Amino acid sequence: MSCLFNSYDPYFKQPFGAVRAGQTVHLTLCIPEELGYVDPHLVLQKEGKYDVPVHYRMKFDGQTPHQNHFSVDVVLGDPGLYFYYFDLYTDFRRIVRGADNCGVVSWQEGESWQITVYEPDFQTPECIKGKVFYQIFPDRFCEGIENKPMPFPDRLYQADKHAEPFWQPNETGGHLNEDYFGGDLEGIRIKLPYLREMGVDYLYLNPIFEAHSNHRYNTADYLNVDPLLGTNEEFEVLCREAAKYGIGIVLDGVFSHTGSDSRYFNREGRYGGAYRDPNSPYRSWYDFDSKYKDGYRSWWGFETLPEVNEETPSYVEFITGEGGVIDTWLRRGAAGFRLDVADELPDEFIEKVRTAVKRVGPDKFLLGEVWEDATTKFGFDKRRTYLLGKGLDSVMNYPFKNAVLGFVCGRDAGQTMTDILSICEHYPAPALDTALNFLSTHDTERALTVIADEPANGR
C-alpha cells in the first residue's frame, strides 16, 4: 500500500513543521481504492484542560490511478501543541502515525501527529543563526596569570597542568571539587586570536560567578566574578576584546538552586545568609522543613545545592528586575545567557528572564538546557511552553547529539533520520535556527568515549 500521509512530505502537509499562530495549514490524504468508500475527517485537538477534538470534513480533490485524494485547510489559532489523526468514518477505521511517520490504517487508537503553534511575533537574534559556539570550562581552559594565590584557603591549586583532576571518592565517600588548575578570564582573553582563527563566533562559558567548587554550579554570589577567575572589570575587558574579534560571550545562569556555601544560604558560615539567620532577607527563597533529609529542599538531594523558590517575588526581582543579575551581566558586555536545567524552572520565571534579556537588546540571546524534545517536555503538572515564543530563544539540541552518535555507532539510518526530522518538525523555525547543536558537553560522555564504546562502569 502506498503512503497515505507523511507530515515530512510537502505533498501531504504544507507548510512543513511548526507554524505561527493564525497560519493556515493544508493537509492532504492519498487513499488507495482498495480501502473502499471513505469519508475522511481531520480530527484535531489542541492540548489543554478544556480542549476537545474538532472534526473537519476533508474535500475530495480527484483521482489518480487506484487512488483518491482528499484535503483540508485549517487555521491554527492560539499557541500550543495540536495533535491530529484522520477518521475514515467507515468501519471504525482511522489513519494514525506509524513508526516511520507514514500514516497507517488502524481500528484502534494510535499515535497522533503534532503541530507546534507558536507566538506570531516570535523572533530570535539574527546574529546567532549559523554561528559557531565554543564551550569553555573556565578553570581548565587557560591560566593567563600563573601561580596566583588562592583567594580562599580551602582551595587546592594544581600547579602541574598535566596532573589528573580529583575524581575518586574521599574517605567519607564524597566527591570533592576543590582542586583548581587556575584557568581565568585573562587566559581566555589571550586565546581570542586562536579562537577566532578556528572560526569561533561565540564562547559559552560554564559558570563564572563566585562559587566554592571548581565547576561553580553552586553559586555563592551572582553579582561578582569568582576571584580566582578575575574581577568584574576584567570580565568587561574580555567582552570588549572579544567583540573586536567578532566573538560574543554567553554566560551560564544557574537559577534553580544556589550553593549552600553562599551569601544567600550560608550553611558553612562563610557569609551571612538564610540557613543561620531566620530573619535573613533571603529566607523566603528556600524551603526549610524537617521532612527534608537535611532540613531544607535541595536540588536532586544534593545538600550543597539548596533549591530556590523561583516564584518568590524578591528572588524574581533580584534575578530579572532592572539592575538585577540578568541586567547587570548583559550591560557588562555578555551576549546572552544559557539557563541551567531550564526544564526545572517555571515557565513564568523563564518568561520574566526573557523580558529582562530583551530589555537590554533584541540581539541578546536566551538559551535553555533541555535534554529531550523541548516542545513535548512535561513538568510542573503541565506541558511546558518555554519554546513557544514567550520564553527561550532556543535550546541545547541533545536529541541531535543522540541521533548522530547513535548512527555513528551503528544505529539504523532510517530511525536516525526520523529522530532528526522530528525535531525539525516540532521546533518553531526561530528556535530551530538558533539551536545549539553539539556532540558532547560537560554533562555527557565525550563523543570519542561514546564512539569507542568505553563502558561507563557505573561512573
What is residue 459's predicted lDDT score, i.e. its pLDDT? 65
Instruction: Express each pLDDT in 427-445 by its tens digit.
Output: 999 999 999 999 999 999 8
175-158-184-149 Cα dihedral, nearest 10 degrees? 110
Instruction: Express each pLDDT in 164-192 by its tens digit.
Output: 888 777 767 676 788 999 999 999 999 99
**From the centroid of its chain, how far is CA 406?**
20
Mean pLDDT for all residues in the chain: 95
Query: To the nearest whole percent, how much of the chain has pLDDT over 90?
Result: 87
What is residue 455's predicted lDDT score, i.e. its pLDDT? 76
Query: To the nearest whole percent, how much of the chain has pLDDT over 70?
Result: 98
| CB of 115 closer than 8 Å to CB of 126 | no
What is residue 454's predicted lDDT score, i.e. its pLDDT? 78
Average pLDDT over residues 135-155: 94
Cell 492519498 locates to 30
- The DSSP bridge partners found for residue 82 are 46, 115
Compute the distance between CA of residue 174 and CA of residue 73 in angstroms, rounded to an integer.
Answer: 60
CA distances from residue 42 to 18, 22, 39 in whole angstroms, order as listed: 18, 18, 10
Task: Classify strands 133-136 and 202-205 as parallel, antiparallel or unpaired.
Answer: parallel
Average pLDDT over residues 41-52: 92
DSSP assignment of 376-391 equals T-EETTEE--TTSSSS
Q: Which helix (H) or strand (E) holds 124?
A: none
What is residue 408's predicted lDDT score, i.e. its pLDDT? 95
What is residue 161's predicted lDDT score, i.e. its pLDDT? 86
Upstream peptide bond of 138 is cis (omega within 30 degrees of 0): no
Amino acid letter, residue 418? T
pLDDT grade, residue 381 (50/70/90)? Answer: confident
